[in-house]
């Protein structure tokens, strides 16, 4: 099985870390390709960044289709372009926010999200509601460390996140924590050991969900909404995205 894990920002080091996390949980017969677009923002920290990450993301889906990929992970916590990616991909597509929240509801009643910048809290709340977990999510907190600084030891990100986790477990009675940024994936086991409740990384959770869906033979329904987009004219700087029958 071949799963493509797409980091929608253009920072290769983060893509490598994400790929490594995915490979750490993939089954023996699963090959992981970790890729990122060559166009768009270096990190995703606003609705603007997120919207502009989607063309590059969709290009990577199209590349994955040509390469015969069986399924896809979208490795940014805003789950950018998920619905569009599902129209385009033959196999299943799962976002890391979606995957982490689903996993959280299987290991406890309540969860909190700890994300990067406070300006992304709203998007996380949107997704919580969209996926149906408004009754289960008891808090969304931001560590206020930029995405690309999370693995810079000088920011002390792990400790800041651990402190937020402990606070929300104590104050909000969270049964588990969802890490709200792909850039936190490699901190997950360290944080988990300190916090004492499940700390869930969406990159690895999504990888297992996609792998499971492929094994089960389930992919996106083609009934109507998620059928392949209709071919039509695309012009200007995005004309390469024109689909043909």
Q: How far is the CB of 153 from a second copy (least distance, A)?
A: 21
Closer to a second copy at the Cβ: 12 or 159?
Answer: 12
Residue 100 CB contacts under 8 Å (≥ 6 apart), including other chains = 77, 178, 179, 200, 201, 202, 205, 206
- In the bound complex, what is the minimum distance in angstroms from residue 76's beta carbon to a second copy? 14
Please identify, using beta-carbon distances, which residue of 118 and 159 lies nearer to a second copy: 118
Location of structure tokens 């030891």: 153
Burial group, residue 148, by CB count within 10 angstroms (0-12, 13-18, 19+) = middle
**Around Cβ 155, how many Cβ atoms within 10 Å?**
15
By beta-carbon proximity to a second copy, the closer residue of 16 and 83 is: 83
The two structure tokens encoding residue 76? 């940014």
Distance of closest approach, residue 147 Cβ to a second copy, in angstroms: 10
**Shortest Cβ 234–a second copy spacing (Å):** 5
Q: DSSP state, 107? A: S
The smaller minimum CB distance to a second copy, of residues 154 and 232, is found at 232
CB 235, min distance to a second copy, A: 5
Nearer to a second copy by Cβ, of 153 and 233: the residue is 233
Sequence-distant (≥ 6) Cβ neighbours of residue 96 within 8 angstroms: 73, 74, 75, 76, 77, 79, 182, 201, 202, 203, 205, 206
């Amino acid at each position: 099985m071949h799963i493509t894990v797409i980091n929608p920002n253009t920072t290769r080091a983060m893509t490598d870390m994400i790929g490594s996390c995915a490979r750490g949980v993939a089954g023996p017969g699963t090959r992981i390709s970790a890729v990122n677009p060559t166009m768009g923002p270096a990190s995703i920290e606003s609705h603007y960044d997120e919207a502009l990450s989607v063309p590059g993301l969709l290009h990577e889906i199209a590349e994955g289709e040509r390469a015969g990929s069986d399924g896809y992970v979208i490795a940014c916590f805003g789950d950018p372009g998920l619905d569009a990616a599902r129209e385009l991909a033959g196999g299943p597509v799962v976002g890391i926010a979606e995957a982490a929240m689903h996993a959280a509801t299987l290991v406890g009643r309540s969860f909190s999200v700890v994300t990067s910048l406070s300006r992304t809290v709203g998007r996380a709340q949107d997704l919580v509601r969209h996926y149906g977990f408004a009754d289960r999510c008891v808090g969304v907190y931001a560590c206020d460390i930029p995405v690309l600084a999370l693995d810079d030891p000088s920011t002390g990100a792990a400790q800041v996140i651990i402190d937020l986790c402990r606070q929300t477990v104590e104050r909000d009675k969270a049964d588990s924590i969802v890490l709200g940024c792909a850039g936190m994936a490699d901190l997950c086991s360290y944080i988990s050991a300190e916090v004492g409740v499940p700390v869930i990384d969406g990159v690895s959770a999504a990888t297992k969900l996609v792998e499971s869906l492929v094994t089960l033979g389930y992919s996106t329904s083609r009934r109507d909404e998620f059928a392949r987009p209709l071919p039509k004219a695309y012009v200007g700087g995005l004309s390469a995205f024109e689909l043909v029958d």
